[in-house]
C-alpha cells in the first residue's frame, strides 16, 4: 500500500511539478508584463521555473522561481530607440533588417551571461519544456535543441510573417500583411502588390541572410551538435500570441497557435494617496496621457510637446501626464505629471474620460478592459494598425502627430469625451475580448502543461510547416503544367504547319 502511494505521488510530481526554462530577452516593460504573468503562474502552480529576463519579478514569496537578471547586459546593447528602429515612416524592409540586427545583439548578450552559460552547459540540468520570447530572430530557440526539450514560443502581440510561415500558418500576401504594416485585411491593388513583393523579399532575406546569421551565432555559443536554426524554429511545439478578434483580422491558424489576450490585466488596486486625491477632485473629468514605455513623452519633438501643452492649458479637464522627468517646462496648472503611473488602476477611476495613447497593444488592452475610450497617436510598429481598427469600431479617434495642431487635438478630445458612442463601443469590445470558456491565463497555462504532459505536440504539427515556399506556392506544379501546355501547343503548331505544307505543297507540284 505504501509503495503504491509512493508511485502515485511520483507520477503526480512528474506531471504537476515540471522543470521549466524561460528566456525573455526584450527589455520593454509592456512586453514583459505579459510574460511575467505566465512564469509567475507556473511557479504558483508548483513548477520549478528558471527564467532569463531583463525584467525580473523579484517576489520573495515565489520560492521555486529562479530569475537570472540580464537587464544590465541587455541595456548595453539596446540603446537604439525603437522610435528610430520601427518608425511608421520607414519601409518594411528597413524595419525588418533593424529588428534582426537588434535581436542578434540581444541574443549574444544573453548567451554570454555566465550564469546562463552554467544553465545551458550543465550536464546535470534537465528541463521538461522551454519557453522563449517569439521574436523574429530564432537564435535563442537553439537552447531548447541543445537541452533536447520541447519549445514553446510566447509573444506579447501578433507575430511577424516569418514565424507564421515557419509554423505552417497560411500566409497569402493578398490577405495578410506584416504585423508592423499599416495595410488592412481589405487591401487595394497597390497594397496587395506591395505585400506580395515584401513576401518575396522576406523569403530571400530569411533564407540567404537572416537565418544563416542566426545559425552562425547559435553555433558560436551552443556548439555544432544542434539542427539548423530554421528546423528548430519549425519544430516549435506551441506558439502563444497576444491577439484578439478586433485588432487582428480572423485567420485560419494551425492547432499549435493559441491566443492569450489580456494576459497582464490585473484586479484594480488602491491608488497612491496623492494620485487618488487628484482624480477624486477632478469632477469635470480627467484626460490621461501616456505614450507607453517605448516611445516616452520625454523623447517627443519639441514642436509636438508645445502643441500638447497649449491644448491641455485650454481644456476644461484635469490632465494626468506620464512624463519621464522631474519637471515639464511650461506645465499648465491643470496638469499633473508623473514619471511612473499605475496605468491600469488610473484607467479604472470613474473620472478618467479619455486615454490619449500611442496605441501599443498592452495599453489598448488596458483601456478596453477598464472601458475607457481613446485618442490614438501612433508612432511605431503595430500602433498605426491598432488605431485604424479602433477608429473603425468607433472606440477611438486617430491623430497624426507629425502634423498635429492644437485645434485638432482639442477637437479629438472633446469628440471622445462628449460623444457617448465611444464609451459604448469600448465596453462592447471589452465584452467580446473576455468572452471565452476559460480566462486567458488559465488557457495559456493549460496548453503549456499539455506540452509537458505529451513531451511536445508532434501529433498537432501541420504538414505545411515542412513544405518549402516553392512547393507551397505550387511553383513546380505550375512549371510542369506550363511545360505540358507549351509542348502541346508546339506539337499542334508543327502538325498544322506540316499539314499545310502537304496541302499547299501538293497543289504547287500539280500546277508545275
Measured distance CA(129)–CA(120) in Å, rounded: 13
What the block records as the C-alpha cell of 428 is 462592447
- Give me the percent of the chain exceeding a pLDDT of 70: 92
- The set of residues, in sequence order, having a beta carbon less than 8 Å from that of 407 and lying 6+ positions away, is none
C-beta atoms surrounding 421 within 10 Å: 12
Which region among 10-14, 246-250, 341-345, 435-439 has the lowest average model confidence (pLDDT)?
A: 10-14
Phi-psi region of 133 (alpha: psi -120 to 50; beta: other; left: phi over 0): beta
Determine the pLDDT at residue 52: 96
- Give me the percent of the chain exceeding a pLDDT of 90: 58
Average pLDDT value for residue range 426-454: 92
Measured distance CA(138)–CA(199) in Å, rounded: 19
Average pLDDT value for residue range 338-347: 94
**Per-residue pLDDT tens for 460-480?**
988 888 887 778 778 889 999
Determine the pLDDT at residue 4: 44
Q: How confident is the model at residue 2 (pLDDT cuts 50, 70, 90)?
A: very low
Q: Which residue has the higher pLDDT, 22 or 198?
A: 22
Average pLDDT value for residue range 439-446: 93
**CA atoms within 13 Å, Cβ hemisphere of 372:** 31
Q: How confident is the model at residue 91 (pLDDT cuts 50, 70, 90)?
A: confident
Determine the pLDDT at residue 211: 95
Q: How far is CA 285 from the centre of its chain?
A: 33
Q: How confident is the model at residue 509 (pLDDT cuts 50, 70, 90)?
A: low
Determine the pLDDT at residue 10: 41
**Per-residue pLDDT tens for 377-422?**
998 878 888 999 999 999 999 999 989 999 999 999 999 999 999 9
What the block records as the C-alpha cell of 136 is 523574429
DSSP letter, residue 298: G
- pLDDT greater than 90 at residue 492: yes
- pLDDT greater than 90 at residue 319: yes
CA torsion 448→135→172→242, rounded to 10°? 50
CA torsion 29→326→359→438, rounded to 10°? 40
- Dihedral sign, CA of 427, 432, 436, 438? negative
Measured distance CA(312)–CA(300) in Å, rounded: 16
Determine the pLDDT at residue 445: 95
Measured distance CA(299)–CA(325) in Å, rounded: 10
Of 74, 204, 216, the closest CA to residue 139 belongs to 216
Determine the pLDDT at residue 12: 44
Q: How confident is the model at residue 176 (pLDDT cuts 50, 70, 90)?
A: confident
Determine the pLDDT at residue 5: 43
Determine the pLDDT at residue 3: 46
What the block records as the C-alpha cell of 185 is 485585411
Q: How confident is the model at residue 82 (pLDDT cuts 50, 70, 90)?
A: low
Q: How confident is the model at residue 8 (pLDDT cuts 50, 70, 90)?
A: very low
Report which secondary-structure segment, H or E, holds 83.
Answer: helix 82-85
Q: How confident is the model at residue 13 (pLDDT cuts 50, 70, 90)?
A: very low
Measured distance CA(243)–CA(169) in Å, rounded: 15
Q: Are 166 and 230 in contact (CB under 8 A)?
A: yes
Measured distance CA(151)–CA(452) in Å, rounded: 10
Ordered alpha helix ranges (H), 356-468: 361-370, 383-392, 406-418, 420-433, 440-454
**Per-residue pLDDT tens for 198-234?**
888 988 999 999 999 999 999 999 999 999 999 999 9
**Per-residue pLDDT tens for 275-310?**
999 999 999 999 999 998 778 888 888 999 999 999
Phi-psi region of 58 (alpha: psi -120 to 50; beta: other; left: phi over 0): left
Measured distance CA(467)–CA(344) in Å, rounded: 44
Measured distance CA(331)–CA(313) in Å, rounded: 8
Place of cell 528597413: 94
- pLDDT greater than 50 at residue 194: yes
Determine the pLDDT at residue 502: 84
Measured distance CA(49)–CA(345) in Å, rounded: 29
Angle at 171 between CA 170 and CA 176, to 5 degrees: 130
**CA atoms within 13 Å, Cβ hemisphere of 146:** 21
3-class secondary structure per residue, 120-183: HCCCCCCCCEEEEECCCCCHHHHHHHHHCCCEEEEECCCCCHHHHHHHCCCCCCCCCCCCCCCC
Q: Are 154 and 38 in contact (CB under 8 A)?
A: yes
Of 152, 139, 140, 113, the closest CA to residue 18 belongs to 152
Q: Which residue has the higher pLDDT, 186 or 67?
A: 67
Determine the pLDDT at residue 116: 95
Average pLDDT, the chain: 88
Give the three-class secondary structure for 19. Answer: strand
Average pLDDT value for residue range 21-36: 89
Determine the pLDDT at residue 141: 97
Tell me the C-alpha to C-alpha distance, in Å, between residue 423 and each of 322, 389, 394, 444: 22, 16, 9, 30
Q: How confident is the model at residue 1 (pLDDT cuts 50, 70, 90)?
A: very low
Q: How confident is the model at residue 364 (pLDDT cuts 50, 70, 90)?
A: very high
Cβ burial, residue 249 (10 Å; 0-12/13-18/19+): middle
Q: How confident is the model at residue 80 (pLDDT cuts 50, 70, 90)?
A: low
Tell me the C-alpha to C-alpha distance, in Å, between residue 24 and each of 32, 35, 44, 141, 212: 8, 8, 19, 11, 22
Which region among 181-185, 264-268, 365-369 has the lowest average model confidence (pLDDT)?
A: 181-185
What the block records as the C-alpha cell of 88 is 511608421
E strands, 269-314, in order: 286-290
Amino acid at each position: 500500500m505504501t509503495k503504491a502511494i509512493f508511485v502515485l505521488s511520483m507520477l503526480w510530481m512528474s506531471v504537476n511539478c515540471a522543470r521549466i526554462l524561460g528566456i525573455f530577452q526584450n527589455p520593454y516593460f509592456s512586453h514583459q508584463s505579459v510574460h511575467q504573468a505566465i512564469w509567475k503562474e507556473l511557479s504558483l502552480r508548483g513548477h520549478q521555473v528558471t527564467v532569463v529576463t531583463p525584467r525580473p519579478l523579484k517576489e520573495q514569496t515565489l520560492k521555486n522561481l529562479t530569475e537570472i537578471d540580464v537587464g544590465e547586459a541587455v541595456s548595453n546593447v539596446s540603446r537604439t530607440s525603437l522610435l528610430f528602429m520601427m518608425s511608421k515612416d520607414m519601409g518594411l524592409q528597413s524595419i525588418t533588417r533593424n529588428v534582426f540586427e537588434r535581436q542578434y545583439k540581444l541574443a549574444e548578450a544573453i548567451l554570454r551571461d555566465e550564469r546562463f552559460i552554467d544553465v545551458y552547459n550543465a550536464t546535470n540540468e534537465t528541463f521538461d519544456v522551454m519557453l522563449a520570447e517569439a521574436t523574429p530572430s530564432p537564435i535563442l530557440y537553439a537552447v531548447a535543441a541543445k537541452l533536447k526539450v520541447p519549445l514553446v514560443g510566447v509573444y506579447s502581440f501578433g507575430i511577424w510573417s516569418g514565424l507564421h510561415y515557419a509554423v505552417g500558418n497560411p500566409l497569402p500576401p493578398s490577405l495578410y500583411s506584416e504585423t508592423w504594416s499599416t495595410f488592412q485585411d481589405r487591401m487595394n491593388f497597390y497594397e496587395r502588390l506591395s505585400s506580395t513583393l515584401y513576401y518575396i523579399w522576406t523569403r530571400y532575406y530569411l533564407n540567404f541572410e537572416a537565418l544563416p546569421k542566426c545559425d552562425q551565432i547559435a553555433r558560436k555559443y551552443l556548439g555544432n551538435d544542434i539542427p539548423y536554426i530554421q528546423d528548430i524554429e519549425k519544430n516549435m511545439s506551441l506558439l502563444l500570441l497576444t491577439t484578439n478578434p478586433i485588432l487582428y483580422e480572423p485567420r485560419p491558424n494551425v492547432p499549435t497557435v493559441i491566443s492569450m489576450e489580456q494576459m497582464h490585466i490585473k484586479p484594480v488596486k488602491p491608488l497612491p494617496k496623492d494620485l487618488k486625491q487628484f482624480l477624486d477632485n477632478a469632477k469635470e473629468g480627467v484626460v490621461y496621457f501616456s505614450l507607453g514605455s517605448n516611445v516616452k513623452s520625454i523623447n517627443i519633438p519639441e514642436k509636438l510637446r508645445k502643441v500638447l501643452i497649449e491644448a491641455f492649458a485650454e481644456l476644461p479637464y484635469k490632465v494626468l501626464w506620464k512624463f519621464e522627468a522631474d519637471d515639464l517646462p511650461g506645465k499648465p496648472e491643470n496638469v499633473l505629471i508623473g514619471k511612473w503611473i499605475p496605468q491600469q488602476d488610473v484607467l479604472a477611476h470613474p473620472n478618467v474620460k479619455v486615454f490619449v495613447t500611442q496605441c501599443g497593444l498592452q495599453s489598448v488592452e488596458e483601456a478596453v478592459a477598464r472601458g475607457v475610450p481613446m485618442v490614438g497617436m501612433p508612432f511605431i510598429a503595430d500602433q498605426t494598425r491598432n488605431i485604424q481598427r479602433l477608429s473603425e469600431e468607433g472606440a477611438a479617434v486617430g491623430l497624426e502627430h507629425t502634423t498635429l495642431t492644437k485645434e485638432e487635438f482639442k477637437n479629438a478630445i472633446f469628440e471622445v469625451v462628449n460623444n457617448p458612442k465611444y464609451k459604448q463601443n469600448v465596453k462592447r469590445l471589452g465584452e467580446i475580448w473576455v468572452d471565452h470558456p476559460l480566462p486567458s491565463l488559465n488557457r495559456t497555462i493549460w496548453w503549456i502543461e499539455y506540452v509537458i504532459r505529451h513531451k511536445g505536440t508532434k501529433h498537432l504539427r501541420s504538414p505545411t510547416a515542412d513544405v518549402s515556399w516553392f512547393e507551397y506556392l505550387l511553383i513546380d506544379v505550375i512549371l510542369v503544367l506550363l511545360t505540358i501546355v507549351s509542348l502541346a501547343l508546339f506539337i499542334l503548331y508543327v502538325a498544322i504547319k506540316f499539314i499545310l505544307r502537304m496541302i499547299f505543297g501538293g497543289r504547287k507540284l500539280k500546277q508545275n
